[in-house]
Each structure stands twice: as structure tokens, then as C-alpha cells.
Chains A and B, each alone.
Chain A
Amino acid sequence: MAESGRKYSFHVEPKALQVSDRPRKFLEAFAAVLRHGNYQLALDTYARLSTRCGRCASTCQLYATTQQDEDLPCHRSELLLRVYRRYFTRWGVMRARLFGGFTLTDEYLDQMAEASYRCTACRRCKAACPMGMDHGLVTRLARWLLAEIGLIPKALVVSVRQQLAGVGNTSGIPLPALKDTCQFLEEELQEMFGVPIPFPFDVQQAEYVFFPAVSDYLLEADTLMGNAAVMHASGASWTIGTGNYDGINYGLFYSDRMLEQIVQNVAAEVRRLRGRKVLVGECGHATRAAWYLNTFAGPDAPPVVNCLQYAHQMLTAGRLRLRDQRIEEPVAYHDPCNIARGGRITEEPREILKTICRNYVEMTPNRTENYCCGGGGGTVSIDEIRGFRTGSLGKCKADQIRASGAKIVVSPCANCKKQLREVCADNGLPDVQIVGLHDLLLKVIEVK
């Protein structure tokens, strides 16, 4: 039996504390994942080549602040690699038989769980590793295996349960409430522009089916009004599906099993509506998760367009007109890791901002080398670790924002927005506004 009173810095569900025989179950899950997934080659290479050179130290914003040995990216990966070497390589198994040594224990699993949720899996350290190790990948895999023995922050698993087995979305917004919200936003838009701008529901054969982070409906009214205004002004055919209106996919943070199901639900809704493309709202991880449609939804998977790409394309093509008004305050752009680290979306938002702002400033480092907001990898939804998130993880970002002199930081990601607001509040930057890119577009766009 697992000992009672086990504590983590994050809350877990009561049932997580009652799981028995955890090391064996962890190893069974590990074996199944190695057999059916695509991780073994990477783990084998890392286990062989990991050179422990410490170069990742200078790239990790967490280690830069805490200077604790266990926060070194390579150290964290080593926690899982050690288990891999011991139980899944011939040499490791033989050595253990002959000489004993390392055995996986409950305490070791607890240590791994703690370490796995101190990392935001931002993958900034990947570029510094001479051996090409992707510590974000290893952290995520450790999280998956831990989740299979019930060891997962309550905040994450409750959201996924809501989405896959509950109301159908991570914020638990029932359809009538959603429709009320959209109606309210339509009224606001009518007041703002003097013309009706709809949030269309269940339009068949629309070109774009819209999947924002569902929390936007609760927290980011301006972003959503900006989205609707851009779609309306550019004459797009778009729709919100009443069967599935949540782009959030926490599977990306901890489990291929959940990732697969949630992505398939997105594909199913697009098929139901006979829509052509998935339009993802302002959300980094929702975009990266949607890119997995190619993996999970077969050869006729709908193409994925992020709303930043869409707005940029319309602006460049002259299909979005702007009023003479411009944003006057200094504006900086925060790159969400999930769309920027691989270099996929970095320039479009900058070009838009340079067009609509008079005083655009850059934070350094940026683009593929950006600092994480400090709330990546799902940690932003774990409220009980706020002090750690905005302190140890967020301090680098706060310093970076302060140095840029920006009064408005644009962050087209629901997670980054929540985290950056808390980072600014907790690090003496109360005057800095955190907004979405569409919040600013809403102020300058011309709608007829």
C-alpha cells in the first residue's frame, strides 16, 4: 500500500493516494508505451549519448532562478532515463541481476512527479543540447507514465474528465451558457460598430470551424469579439460547432491517450458540420494539438489554420481594412512556446502588430528562443502552485517585460495570458496590460 499523507506541491485526487504497487504498474505502462509508441528510439539514443555537459543550465529559466541541481533539464531527464536503462536495456537488466543497485521505488516516483511538474516543457533547452536531447519530450513522457498510475495534478485530470466524459469542454460551459455569452458579445459588437456581427452556430459546410480555448468565453471577451470582427470583415464563412467548441487539449501536456481522443473529437465535429478547415483561436497548445490532426484523423484530416495566420493573410491580401487609429502605447509580443519553438508561427503576428502599433518593441530573446511565460505545459491551470509559477518560473519573463519598457504585452494564447497577468501582478508590474492580438485588432479594424 502506498503510505498515507504523501504530499506534492500540487493537489492530486484522493484516489491517486490509494494506488498500490505503483512501481510495477509504472513499469508495465512504460513497457506498453515503448512497445506501441515511437519513443524507444529516442530514449535509447539519449540513454546512450547523454553527456551531462551542463549546457542546458544556461538556457533554463527555472534553473536560472532557483539554481537547484534538480531543476537542470538534463537532471530531470536522467530520472526517467535511469529507469529506462535499468529495466529496458539488456545491459541494465544484467547488471542489476549481477550487482543489484537501482530499484524503482514509491519515493523515486514521487520525486519524478514533483520534477515533472516543475518543468513547463517549453523545450528551450533542446537547442542547447549537443546531443540533440529533447528534455521536453522526456518530461512529457514521464508525465504520461505517472498519469497511468494516477499521479497527475487534479487540475489537469478534472479538466480532461469534463471534456471527454462530462459537459464536453474543459471549462464546463453548457451550450445555453455559451449561446448567452455569444449573444452578449454580439450586442457589444453591435454597439461598437453599429452593424450586426454574428457568432454563427452550426453552419453546415462552412470553410472554418472555430476552436478557441473554451476559457476565452469566460475570460477573453475582447479576443473573441476581435475574432468575430476579423471573420466578419474579411467575409469568411465560419461557424462554432455546438457539438464541440473547445480547442483545449491537455493530452498534449501529459498523455497520448487523451491527446488522441480529444483530437479525434475535433475531427468528428468538423466532419459532422461538413466544414473544410479547423480555425484555432488564440491558443498556443490548442494549435499545436490541432496540428496532430494529421496524425490522428487519417489522410483526409482537415487543414489547420491559426487565427493569427488567418488575420495576417487577410491583412496582406487587403481583405481587412483598418481605421486611421493606431495603438500608441509601447507594445511587445510574447511568443507562445507551442507555436514559436519549432519556428512555425513567429512572423505573422509581428507583421500585424507593426502595422497596427506605432511603438512596437521586441523582447529579447524572442521567436524560437523565447522565454516561456512560466505557465506552460498545463502548469498555469494548477492554481496551488501560483507562487512557484510566478516566482521561480516567471521571474525571467517579468524581467524581460520590464526591460522592454512595453506597457502592453500581446500574447495570443489563453494559457500565457492568464500566467502573464499573474506574473505581472506578483512581480511589481501592475501597469502592464496583457492582451490578445485580436483585442488590439478590434480597436483598429474597420467593419462595414
Chain B
Amino acid sequence: MIDLQTWIDWAGGPLFRAALAFMLLGLARRAALNAWEIVRAWRRAGDKQLPWRAVLRATLRWLFPLGQVGNRALFSATTLLFHAAVILVPLFLAGHVALWQPWLGIAWPVMPSALATALTVAAVVAALGLVIQRAASRATRALSRLEDYALPIVVGLPFLTGLLVMHPGWNPFSYQWTMLAHVLSADLLLVLFPLTKLSHMVLLPATQLVSELAWHFPPDAGSRVAAALRKEGEPI
């Protein structure tokens, strides 16, 4: 007989702490490397004048993309709903805050459970919606790779299992198995953050700047490339 509670405690205890540390350290490393490379690119650039205002405007437009829903409206709206749900629920669910409190020694306001349920349902529906819309539209179907379909599902899993944990009446499976699945899928998600495109969580604020900087060439890059390829003096 397997003692499920032991496994749940392990997955929610040491394993969770390891996964969380992996995520935080991984993302911090990504962000630090990104910042370092930005400074390095800027220092190498021949023209150090950047259109700061335009870069900032574009950055804010995509950090708060409410005005961008017009393009692929349903897909964009689904994306927004998905992001709102997956950011808010893990942080402000009463059950989660109660877990953090003894650990961090601080508490913060929690969301009403009805709202939490609604947002969790929204997260699951939106995750499925993203996968279905990706497959249904010709343009995205042509572009997509396995990872693009898999990630919304992996992100949706802790929400689906969390919903069943919160509402035992809806749950056809045993509570403990569901809880174990919930905690394990959350651990997996944390580990994936720094390794996949989910790292946009820390990289997105800099992408507009990064794109702008790429147009700011080092003054001698062309000649250095020519030298490296032994093409100096070679006829055009």
C-alpha cells in the first residue's frame, strides 16, 4: 500500500522547494545575462543614441497589451485571459497564501474563492482554446512545433487538477491522487520556466530594446568579419 500523503508531502515540500529554487535562480541568471549582454551590445555600438521613448512605448504596449486585441481577436483575447488567470490564481488563492504564510512570515490579501474558481476554469478553458486555435488556424499550424502545443497543456494541468482539488464534488478521482498530480504538475511547470519560452516572464521587458540594439552596429564589425573570413581586399 503506497502512502500517498507521504508522496504529496515530498512533492509539495523538498521537491517543490527545489523546483522553485531552480525556477528563481534560472530566471535570475537569464535576466542577469540578458542585462549584461544589453550593456555589452550598447557599449560596442557605434551609435549610442537610442530612441528611448519609442522603445519604452513599444515595451509598455506589449507588457499591457489590452490595445492589441484587434489582430486575431479571439486568439488575442484568449491569450489575455490565459495570462490574467495563470498569474493571479497561484499568487492570490487563499489555499496558496496559507501555505506561504508560515514559510515567509508575511501574508497578503486573498481572492474570493468564487473568483478563484472562475479564473481557474478560465485558465483551463483558455489553455485548451490556445491549443485548439493554434491547430485550427492555417498560419499558426504552419509555424507551430510540438513545444507550442505542449506548453499550454503543461501550464493548464496544475489548474485543472487544482480545480478538482478545490471542488471534490466535481472530482471523479481520489482526492489524494488528484492532489499529487496537482503538486507534481506545478513542480514540472516551475522547472520549465527558465528552459522554455516561458522565460519571456523575465525577458519580455527587454525585447524591444534588444531588437533596437541589434540595429546599432559596432563601427568596425564589417571589417572585422572581412578579416576573420580572410576576405580583406577580395574583389566584390
Chain A residues packing against B (C-beta within 8 Å): 28-29, 32-33, 35-42, 44-45, 48-55, 57-59, 63, 67, 69, 72, 74-75, 78, 126-128, 130-134, 137, 148, 157, 160-161, 164-165, 255-261, 292, 294-296, 298, 342-343
When the two chains form the complex, which single residue of A49, A58, A261 contacts B200, counting CB atoms closer than 8 Å?
A49
Contact present for B214 and A134 (CB under 8 Å)? yes
The contact string, 1 if C-beta is below 8 Å from chain A, for chain B 49-69, is 101001000110010010010
Contact present for A257 and B223 (CB under 8 Å)? yes
Contact present for A128 and B210 (CB under 8 Å)? no
When the two chains form the complex, which single residue of A41, A49, A67, A127 contacts B197, counting CB atoms closer than 8 Å?
A49
Residue on A with the closest CB to B137?
Answer: A54
B125 within 8 A of A: no
Contact present for A131 and B204 (CB under 8 Å)? yes
Contact present for B46 and A42 (CB under 8 Å)? no
Contact present for A51 and B197 (CB under 8 Å)? yes
Interface of B, secondary structure class, is helix
* Interchain nearest-CB distance for B227 vs A (Å): 9
Which A residues are CB-close (under 8 A) to B46? 294-296
A-B CB proximity, top 6 nearest = A132-B207, A295-B46, A69-B142, A42-B214, A257-B222, A260-B222
When the two chains form the complex, which single residue of A28, A44, A75, A257 contacts B226, counting CB atoms closer than 8 Å?
A257
Which of A42, A44, A45, A161 counts the most B-chain CB atoms under 10 A from its CB? A45
**Alpha-carbon separation in the docked complex, A50 to B151 (Å):** 13
Contact present for B236 and A130 (CB under 8 Å)? no
Which A residues are CB-close (under 8 A) to B51? 342
Which residues in chain B, 151-207, are within 8 Å of chain A measured between CB atoms?
Answer: 197, 199-200, 203-204, 206-207
The contact string, 1 if C-beta is below 8 Å from chain A, for chain B 211-223, is 1011111111111
Contact present for B211 and A134 (CB under 8 Å)? yes
Q: Name 9 A/B residue pairs within 8 A (Cβ), A-sorted.
A: A36-B220, A36-B224, A37-B225, A39-B214, A45-B210, A52-B144, A54-B139, A165-B236, A295-B45
Which of B44, B145, B197 counts the most A-chain CB atoms under 10 A from its CB? B197
* Interchain nearest-CB distance for A176 vs B (Å): 25
**Alpha-carbon separation in the docked complex, A342 to B216 (Å):** 14
Contact present for B143 and A52 (CB under 8 Å)? yes
Contact present for A32 and B229 (CB under 8 Å)? yes
Residue on A with the closest CB to B38?
Answer: A41
Residue on B with the closest CB to A147?
Answer: B236
When the two chains form the complex, which single residue of A54, A137, A292 contacts B143, counting CB atoms closer than 8 Å?
A54
Contact present for A343 and B219 (CB under 8 Å)? no
**Alpha-carbon separation in the docked complex, A126 to B55 (Å):** 12
B9 within 8 A of A: no
Known: A55-B72, A72-B143, A160-B236. 6 other contacts (CB 8 A): A36-B221, A38-B44, A38-B45, A53-B140, A131-B207, A296-B46
Contact present for A295 and B139 (CB under 8 Å)? no
Contact present for B221 and A38 (CB under 8 Å)? yes
Which B residues are CB-close (under 8 A) to A59? 71
**Alpha-carbon separation in the docked complex, A10 to B210 (Å):** 33
Which residues in chain B, 116-152, are within 8 Å of chain A measured between CB atoms?
Answer: 137-140, 142-145, 148
Which A residues are CB-close (under 8 A) to B76? 55
Which A residues are CB-close (under 8 A) to B213? 38, 41-42
Contact present for A48 and B140 (CB under 8 Å)? no
* Interchain nearest-CB distance for A292 vs B (Å): 7
Which B residues are CB-close (under 8 A) to A51? 148, 197, 200
Which A residues are CB-close (under 8 A) to B208? 132
Contact present for B143 and A130 (CB under 8 Å)? no
Residue on B with the closest CB to A126?
Answer: B211
**Alpha-carbon separation in the docked complex, A256 to B228 (Å):** 14
* Interchain nearest-CB distance for A60 vs B (Å): 10
Contact present for B228 and A36 (CB under 8 Å)? yes
Which A residues are CB-close (under 8 A) to B59? 132
* Interchain nearest-CB distance for B219 vs A (Å): 6
Which B residues are CB-close (under 8 A) to A298? 219
Contact present for A343 and B71 (CB under 8 Å)? no
Given the known A-B contacts A131-B204, A160-B236, are A41 and B229 also in contact in the complex, defined by CB atoms under 8 Å?
no
Contact present for B222 and A261 (CB under 8 Å)? yes
B112 within 8 A of A: no
B18 within 8 A of A: no
Contact present for B229 and A295 (CB under 8 Å)? no
Residue on B with the closest CB to A31?
Answer: B228
Contact present for A37 and B217 (CB under 8 Å)? yes
Which B residues are CB-close (under 8 A) to A55? 71-72, 75-76
Contact present for A49 and B203 (CB under 8 Å)? yes
Given the known A-B contacts A49-B203, A256-B222, are A161 and B236 also in contact in the complex, defined by CB atoms under 8 Å?
yes
When the two chains form the complex, which single residue of A35, A54, A130, A257 contacts B65, counting CB atoms closer than 8 Å?
A130
* Interchain nearest-CB distance for B28 vs A (Å): 16
Contact present for A130 and B62 (CB under 8 Å)? yes
Contact present for A148 and B228 (CB under 8 Å)? no
Contact present for A137 and B72 (CB under 8 Å)? no
When the two chains form the complex, which single residue of A33, A128, A260, A294 contacts B47, counting CB atoms closer than 8 Å?
A294
* Interchain nearest-CB distance for B230 vs A (Å): 10
Contact present for B71 and A29 (CB under 8 Å)? no
* Interchain nearest-CB distance for B3 vs A (Å): 37
Which B residues are CB-close (under 8 A) to A35? 224, 228
B235 within 8 A of A: yes
Residue on B with the closest CB to A45?
Answer: B210
* Interchain nearest-CB distance for A282 vs B (Å): 23
**Alpha-carbon separation in the docked complex, A55 to B76 (Å):** 9
**Alpha-carbon separation in the docked complex, A134 to B208 (Å):** 9
* Interchain nearest-CB distance for B183 vs A (Å): 27
Given the known A-B contacts A295-B45, A342-B51, are A74 and B216 also in contact in the complex, defined by CB atoms under 8 Å?
no
**Alpha-carbon separation in the docked complex, A247 to B122 (Å):** 56
Which B residues are CB-close (under 8 A) to A72? 139, 142-143
* Interchain nearest-CB distance for B214 vs A (Å): 4
Contact present for B222 and A45 (CB under 8 Å)? no
* Interchain nearest-CB distance for B143 vs A (Å): 4
Contact present for A295 and B210 (CB under 8 Å)? no
When the two chains form the complex, which single residue of A29, A40, A132 contacts B62, counting CB atoms closer than 8 Å?
A132
